[in-house]
Amino acid sequence: MNAERLPTLHAPAERAGSRTLKRQIEKVSGEGFFRNVADAVPVIVLVLNAQRQVVFANRQLLKFGKKLTFLPPEGKRPGELFGCIHSAATAGGCGTTEFCTKCGAVNAVLASQEGIQAVDECRILTKDNTALDFRVWATPFRQNSDMMTIFAALDISDEKRRQTLEKIFFHDIMNTAGILSGFSDILTVEKDPEEISEIATLLVRASNRLIEEIQAQRLLSSAERGDLVLSLSEIDTSDLLSEVADTYAGHESAESRTLSISEHTARCPLTSDPTLLRRILGNMVKNALEATSPGDRVMLSCREEEDAVTFSVNNHMVMDPEVQLQVFNRSFSTKGMGRGIGTFSIKLLGEKYLQGRVWFESRDGSGTTFFLRLPKKPAI
């Protein structure tokens, strides 16, 4: 085992020495009956040593190979194998960051090392912004003097994606449909021409929102499948922010809140997909408004750099540290089960498709700010 102790914020960072790892790999791989059983089951099966390193992987892992970033698996930890964005953040690797404290996979393995058979769910965001969801089982067993963990992982990404999209879609559609129905009922009995005109305006607004919600779900589904096609054109950054601000100033989440644009906002040309960019900035604004207390302000801004443009949306609230660790996970939300898509979609669309970078800062004194940095002219 390595003599130097590496720092960690969660699980131990140390790894087995090369000779020990080689011995463990040869021993487990030589168990013919176990290998045949593991290859026969329809889930990924790994055997991990006491340092959480892979010493055996079944054939199902290779079928999953198109989503993997590091092969061969031996010696890797699960997060490193699946390309988790946090797995290379520290010298200790998978399991050693503060984000890992919320990882169901490493926590299940740590429980198994205490002699407990554990089952949990694991959300992974990869370096190319692919969201993976696993249901994992960790079962302890001892092989001679070595304490091992049988780690089984079932890919439930499609299940989670479908559940999340359906819950959001039906929730938002039903809300808007209810508004349309209510106004329509009033319209059938209303006689005052001025009242009729006002209701008609509200009906148009609700109808447009219904269309936007359907288009948003279709866009996100296409983005997650990887077949979203961009339509690039030149955009004026100041005009774009004004358009987004005007759109969301009348949104229900903006009630009793101020939505404004910074006086220092830059006006400069930007080549991007205007529909996609409006969707990303709209999600940033909507999230900020929903997190803001009545009477407070949400500020939009844009800063020009040499070859890039950085948009930002700020509110005065500070996110709980527990929330900050999971904010970009697809299935996570502070609004309840099945509502975790907004911040994930910002990162997916902004980085994977618009070739930008998405991040946030949340601290006392300055509140929470989400940033989107885009190249002025993306590589084609």
Q: Are residues 33 and 114 in the same domain?
A: yes
Q: Are residues 175 and 221 in the same domain?
A: yes
In a domain, 87, yes or no: yes
Q: Are residues 265 and 344 in the same domain?
A: yes
Q: Which domain holds residue 92?
A: 18-155
pLDDT of residue 340: 42
Cβ–Cβ < 8 Å for 283, 223: no
User: What pLDDT band is residue 192 in, cutting at 50, 70 and 90?
Assistant: confident
**Res 362 pLDDT > 70:** yes
**Res 220 pLDDT > 90:** no
User: What pLDDT band is residue 170 in, cutting at 50, 70 and 90?
Assistant: low
In a domain, 13, yes or no: no
In a domain, 107, yes or no: yes
Cβ–Cβ < 8 Å for 360, 321: no
Q: Are residues 208 and 248 in the same domain?
A: no
By DSSP bridging, strand 131-143 and strand 146-155 are antiparallel
pLDDT of residue 169: 61
Average pLDDT, the chain: 86
pLDDT of residue 167: 63
Cβ–Cβ < 8 Å for 332, 354: no
In a domain, 33, yes or no: yes
Beta bridge partner(s), residue 48: 54, 149
Tell me the Ramachandran region of residue 346: left when phi exceeds 0, alpha when psi lies from -120 to 50, beta otherwise: alpha
Domains held by the chain: number: 3
Cα 285 to its chain centre, rounded Å, is 17
**Res 223 pLDDT > 80:** no
Q: Are residues 96 and 186 in the same domain?
A: no
In a domain, 11, yes or no: no
Q: Are residues 237 and 184 in the same domain?
A: no
Final residue of a structural domain among 172, 200, 227: 227
pLDDT of residue 29: 87
CA distance 64 to 130: 14
More confident residue, 144 or 316: 316
Final residue of a structural domain among 176, 206, 227: 227
DSSP 8-state symbol, 65: G
Q: Are residues 139 and 120 in the same domain?
A: yes
pLDDT of residue 206: 73
**Domain with 272 in it: what CATH number?**
3.30.565.10
In a domain, 318, yes or no: yes
In a domain, 7, yes or no: no
Tens digit of pLDDT for each residue in 77-101?
999 999 999 999 999 999 999 999 9
Mean pLDDT confidence for 265-282: 92
Tens digit of pLDDT for each residue in 101-155?
999 999 999 999 999 999 999 989 888 878 889 999 999 999 888 999 999 999 9
**Domain with 77 in it: what CATH number?**
3.30.450.20
Residue 117: count other Cβ atoms within 10 Å of its Cβ.
13
**Res 336 pLDDT > 50:** no
Final residue of a structural domain among 131, 155, 179: 155
Of the listed ranges 22-26, 190-194, 232-236, the one predicted with least confidence:
190-194
* Sign of the torsion angle spanned by Cα atoms 183, 187, 191, 195: positive
Q: Are residues 371 and 241 in the same domain?
A: yes
Can you give the pTM of this predicted structure? 0.68
Q: Are residues 145 and 54 in the same domain?
A: yes
Q: Would you call 175 exposed, middle or buried from its count of C-beta atoms within 10 A (0-12, 13-18, 19+)?
A: middle
More confident residue, 329 or 42: 42
Q: Are residues 213 and 259 in the same domain?
A: no
pLDDT of residue 195: 80
In a domain, 9, yes or no: no
Q: Are residues 257 and 205 in the same domain?
A: no
Q: Are residues 214 and 251 in the same domain?
A: no
* Token output for 145: 């003097």
CA distance 223 to 323: 25
3-state helix, strand, coil in the chain (%, to 5): 45, 25, 35
Report the percentage of the chain scoring pLDDT > 90: 55
Cβ–Cβ < 8 Å for 121, 155: no
Cβ–Cβ < 8 Å for 103, 79: yes
